[in-house]
Structure 1
């Protein structure tokens, strides 16, 4: 039991549990998506479920922070199947490769732009909320 008192072991165990919790949220979202909202991908629905739980205070940020950080750090692993597909079908890349590359570049720029605008708007909204709390004397 001494190894469980080690902070590094505790952090690793917390990360694994948080990743498992996020996977369970994705499974729940997948079931909900298939049953009620087939036009919404399970990943998007799961993201909104986690966001709503965080916003409502049902899910403290500390319960998913290190797991989400690990998943983002290892995101490249999730793109390996796409890379294998490109390697397996070089004739596809030769015939329409330029169009695919342009679509990938354009979509990446669009996603990064929209993400930056949303993060900026969220930051400004958070500052506005803090200012209102200070004006009303509530900290």
Structure 2
């Protein structure tokens, strides 16, 4: 077995372990605090805090996050399969559902773009 392959595999497992631990911690916090926020979202907030405090650099988890992003479609297969149970709903109300999805996606993209623009301008003013 190649030493480089073994080293990369161990690093991948460690990174996935850190990401899984943050996800599970978020789930525990959501249960303990009885918040209506999903544990995965709280886990992402914890990840952001870890990055913001400098405890972990984003590049440190790049290999594990890259693997999860590459296999993202696998995480959506159960949700897509559940749509088969609601065929009549989709036939009757599908256009409304698609309209809500389209409008909400557009709003999220616009808010994100304006927020990034505002943060960039604010950052440039404070750096000058």
**TM class by shorter-chain length?**
0.7 to 0.9
**Matches of 1:107 and 1:22 in 2, distance apart?**
28
RMSD: 2.3
Consecutive unaligned residues of structure 2, counting only runs of 5 or more, are none
Deviation at 1:13, TM superposition (A): 4.0
**Matches of 2:74 and 2:123 in 1, distance apart?**
33
**Matches of 1:20 and 1:104 in 2, distance apart?**
33
Q: How many residues align?
A: 128
SS at match of 1:40: coil
Deviation at 1:88, TM superposition (A): 3.0
More divergent stretch after superposition (85-94 vs 10-19)? 10-19
Q: 2:108 aligns with which of 106, 111, 114?
A: 111
SS at match of 2:36: coil
Mapping 1:89-108, distance limit 5 Å? 89-108=86-105
**Matches of 2:96 and 2:73 in 1, distance apart?**
23
Listed one character per residue, the Cα deviations across residues 38-62 of structure 1 (whole Å, up to 9, x for unaligned) are: 2222122111111111111111222
Aligned to 1:20: 17
Consecutive unaligned residues of structure 1, counting only runs of 5 or more, are 133-139
